[in-house]
Amino acid sequence: MAEVAFVVADDFEDSELEVPCERLRAAGHHVTFVGEKAGEAVRGKRGAVVDIEMAASEVAPRDLDAVVVPGGYSPDRLRLCPDVVDLLRQVAREGRLVAAICHGPSLLIDADVVSGRTVTSWPSIRRDLENAGATWVDETVVEDANLVTSRNPGDLDTFSETILRKLRAQHETRTAGRA
């Protein structure tokens, strides 16, 4: 099915990685953990550990159907990784799905994909998003074309279902185009 990259660094919010990842895998999608360096083990705020399978510099955006950005402090660390920022920018510009939750949308600022878009996030980054040209709203999940954003771990069910629905629609559009 879909190829989905989770971009992650140390101090990610465990549930914001685990819940969507589990739901995507259960639906038959392939998930890859992408970060600054392949082979590196990164730790969540609450003890989860994942191994970075691919460095962002090794990932071809055209090979991805979606990128998911969990929150926590991980997005702030990834803002300093030009390869991760560039990967997100390219995936978004190619019209593929980009989904970010909690503090995750802060990484989208550096990827230059929030200007003129409607988003949500953890409230503390609201001003940053608005200063980057986004319209911020306090809603469980916000969909703006290929961009999906969500506020916090309490929204994970709706966030995960939205990602799955958008991937189904993306697949149907591609399949219809080949018919």
Residue 104's identity, in one-letter code, is G
Mean pLDDT of the region 111-133? 98
CA-based diameter of the chain, in Å?
A: 47
Which residue stretches of the chain are H helix?
Answer: 14-26, 74-78, 82-93, 105-110, 126-131, 156-178
Place of tokens 């549930």: 15
Residue 172: per-residue pLDDT: 84
The CATH number of residue 45's host domain is 3.40.50.880
pLDDT > 90 in the chain, percent: 94
Quote the CA–CA distance of 34 and 24 in Å, as a whole number: 16
Instruction: Categorize the per-residue pLDDT at 168 as very low, low, confident or very high, splitting at 50, 70 and 90.
Output: very high
DSSP state of 154: G
Closest-CA residue to 136 (of 155, 160, 114, 158): 114
The end-to-end CA distance of the chain, in Å, is: 18
Active-site residues, by number, are: 103
DSSP state of 107: H
Above 90 in pLDDT, residue 174?
no
Instruction: Categorize the per-residue pLDDT at 176 as very low, low, confident or very high, splitting at 50, 70 and 90.
Output: confident
Count structural domains, the chain: 1
Residue 179: per-residue pLDDT: 60
Mean pLDDT of the region 103-131? 98
Above 70 in pLDDT, residue 77?
yes
- Quick: pLDDT tens for 45-64: 999 999 999 999 999 999 99
> Counting beta carbons within 10 angstroms of the beta carbon of residue 94, is it exposed (0 to 12), middle (13 to 18) or buried (19 or more)?
exposed
DSSP state of 62: G
Quote the CA–CA distance of 60 and 41 in Å, as a whole number: 22
- How high does pLDDT run on average in the chain? 96
pLDDT > 70 in the chain, percent: 98
**What residue numbers bound the domain in which 140 lies?**
3-178
Q: Which residues contact 48 (CB under 8 A, 6 or more apart)?
A: 12, 14, 17, 18
Mean pLDDT of the region 133-138? 98
Residue 178: per-residue pLDDT: 67
